[in-house]
Amino acid sequence: MAHKALYPLGLILLLLFSCGAPAPESYAPPLQRRQPPGVEPRPVGSFVSMSDVDADAHIVRDVSPGGDGSPWRWTFQRPELRFWVESVERQRLVVEFVIAENTFKQTGPVTVSFSVNGRLLGRQRCPKPGPYRFEKAVTSEWLRTDDFTMVTAEADRHWVAPEDGARLGFILSRIGFVR
């Protein structure tokens, strides 16, 4: 009598261990994918970190070449970068940069001016070496969505290399437009 009561239990266990999603014996090869048509869209966006893969695409001039993934790059005489903004409304220019201690010894306090499409947006005074962040709203009339927006950042004093006369400004980390 007792063992008969175990039959349902055995049946349940048998059912349980026959579980498992039914896997087809095999599959035919799927539809073969093709490379998406067209060329790679412009990699320029509205904001860039110097460590980004596409950082070079944003640089117009006077920023040291990267390629090693470093998050910092030296700027030279009159650095200029380009951006593509999707909207002209409520944009703020944000620049994160560092005044290096070594260059500061020669230059003393530095003022960096920031311009958007050739118009002066503001200045950041840097009385001592260290990190700085410049952030200021940009009026919508200065921006456009059908072409690049150019940003220049110019230090009023530069460190001049004694060997070759190269002029170093500041160390750029991140720059671009945020909303």
Partner 1 sequence: MPPALTILLAAAFTVAACVAAGKLLLRVMRVRFHHGEAWLFAFVAGAACWSAVVFALAAARLARRSVFLAAGVLVILAALRWGRRSTQSPETLPPRLSRPWKVVFGVVFGAFTVLYFFNALAPEVSPDGSTYHLGLVARYLREHGFTRITTSMYANLSQGMEMLFLFAFAFGKHSAAALVHFAFLLALPLAMLAYGRRIGHARAGAVGALLVYASPLAGVDGISAYNDVAVACVLFTLFYLLEIWEKDPRPGWLAAAGLLAGFGYALKYTALLAVPYALGRVGWTLWRNRRPLVRPLALTGACALLMIAPWMAKNWIWLGNPVSPFLNQVFPNPHVRVSFEQEYARQMRHYAGLSSYWAVPLEATVRGEVLNGFLGPAFLLAPLGLLALRRREGRQLLLAALVFALTYPANVGTRFLLPALPFVSLAMGLAAWRWMAPALVLAHAVASWPSVSRSYCGHYAWRVKDIPWEAALRRTPEERFLAERQPRYTLARTIEEHVPPYGQVLVFNQTPNAYTSRELLLTYESGLGNLLHDILLAPRLMDEQPVRAWRFSFPPQAVRKLRVLQTASSAPGEWHVREFRVFHGEAELERKPAWRLRAHPNPWDVPLAFDNTLVTRWRSWQSMFPGMYLELSFGAPQVVDAVKLECTPDQGPVRLQVEAETAPGVWKTLATQAVITERRRPDRLRRAAVEEVKARGVDYLLLYESDIVAEEFWKQRRRWGIAELAHVRGARLYRLD
User: Contact positions toward partner 1, by CB under 8 A?
Assistant: 1-2, 5, 8-9, 12, 15-16, 19-36, 38, 40-43, 45-48, 52-54, 84, 86, 179
Q: Is 101 helix (H, G, I), strand (E, B) or coil?
A: helix
Nearest distance from C-beta of residue 175 to partner 1, angstroms: 12
Nearest distance from C-beta of residue 113 to partner 1, angstroms: 26
Between 18 and 102, whose beta carbon lies closer to partner 1?
Answer: 18
Nearest distance from C-beta of residue 123 to partner 1, angstroms: 27
Nearest distance from C-beta of residue 140 to partner 1, angstroms: 17
What are 61's two structure tokens? 């001039």
As a whole number of angstroms, the distance between CA 23 and CA 56 comes to 49
Between 9 and 163, whose beta carbon lies closer to partner 1?
Answer: 9
Nearest distance from C-beta of residue 94 to partner 1, angstroms: 13
Between 12 and 60, whose beta carbon lies closer to partner 1?
Answer: 12
Between 48 and 171, whose beta carbon lies closer to partner 1?
Answer: 48
Instruction: Output Rg (C-alpha) for the chain, integer angstroms.
Output: 29
Backbone phi, psi, residue 103, to 5°:
-75, -30
As a whole number of angstroms, the distance between CA 117 and CA 149 comes to 6
CB-based burial of residue 81 (10 Å sphere; 0-12 exposed, 13-18 middle, 19+ buried)? buried
- Give the alpha-carbon dihedral of 101, 63, 51, 144, to 10 degrees: 120
As a whole number of angstroms, the distance between CA 151 and CA 154 comes to 10
Between 17 and 162, whose beta carbon lies closer to partner 1?
Answer: 17
